Amino acid sequence: MPAATFSVLLLTAAPPGHGAEAAGAFVKIEGRESLLRAVELFLNRDSVKQIQLVLDADMMEEGKRKYGGHLSFSGVKLITGGPTWVDQIAAAAEKISDDATHVIVHDAARPAVAYSDIDAAMEAAGKHAVVALTAPLRSSLMEVDEGGNAVAYHTSTRFVQLLSPVVFEKKKFCDLAAKKQAAHASEVHLLKGSPLNVRVGGSGDAGLVGQMIRMLPKPKLKPPSSPFEEAQW
């Protein structure tokens, strides 16, 4: 079986279940926007053939001005999508590289992802149509109705937090994007990820997320393949 190759989509819209105000991709974490830190998680990976960062049309001009130079130097393309998670997936699906066998969808407001978690998700992608990272819940849940009234208790052992990135077989991704649907839960293979993978919801989270990034183990760097490559650094 040929080795898997990946197209990476980084979305700046808030994912389902979060209000639009929770789009924290543009929050600065120790001086650099979350979206730039999230992009860097996927650079210098031989199997990653394409990286695209999706911005709402209203943000595109500002995005080009602020991030365009940095991203183009890294080979990252800025593309225009709608204001919602689903809209941005649909827009990006039209531009997936023909060379990619799989698609990685990542929330650009999640810069604190362990490199080993990404490696594990990419490795599992060859065996499953959809692979998602998860983290355990730390407390029990209370189900409420629309009025906020208690309905039922649920123990934390029956639930996990759904994180990103999520890795899709390309055909499965394109089918779901065309229908603007999510994968059925039974199709998703779950991997336990690091609980340090927290989401930036706003500027108040910047300090916490910065601490999480510092706590992550450092990735193992490949030695330079030639003296010329070493000299570039």
Is 108 inside a domain boundary? yes
Which of the 8 DSSP states describes residue 148? S
Residue written as tokens 């309905």? Answer: 151
The two tokens of residue 57 are: 């049309």
How many distinct structural domains can be found in the chain?
1
Is 1 inside a domain boundary? no
Strand segments (E) across the chain = 6-11, 28-29, 32-33, 48-56, 76-81, 102-107, 130-136, 141-144, 150-154, 160-169, 188-192
Is 89 inside a domain boundary? yes
> In which element (H, E) is residue 139 found?
none
Is 181 inside a domain boundary? yes
The confidence score (pLDDT) of residue 76 equals 96
Q: What is the 3-state secondary structure (H, E, C) of 79-124?
A: EEECCCHHHHHHHHHCCCCCCCCEEEEEECCCCCCCHHHHHHHHHH
d(CA 6, CA 3): 10
CB-based contact 141:156 (threshold 8 Å): yes
Upstream peptide bond of 165 is cis (omega within 30 degrees of 0): yes
| Residues paired with 188 in a beta bridge | 130
d(CA 191, CA 35): 23
Here the CATH number for the domain that contains residue 33 is: 3.90.550.10
The two tokens of residue 47 are: 């199997």
Domain of residue 191 covers 6-232
Question: Helix, strand, coil proportions of the chain in percent (round to 5)?
Answer: 35, 25, 35
> In which element (H, E) is residue 74 found?
none
What tens-digit pLDDT sequence spans the chain (233 residues)? Answer: 678 999 999 999 988 877 666 679 999 999 999 999 999 999 999 999 999 999 999 999 999 999 988 898 999 999 999 999 999 999 999 899 999 999 999 999 999 999 999 999 999 999 999 999 999 998 999 999 999 999 999 998 889 999 999 999 999 999 999 999 999 999 999 999 999 999 998 899 999 999 999 999 887 766 555 454 444 33
Provide the whole-model pTM.
0.90
Q: What is the CA radius of gyration of the chain?
A: 18
The two tokens of residue 136 are: 């355990």
d(CA 45, CA 2): 17
Is 92 inside a domain boundary? yes
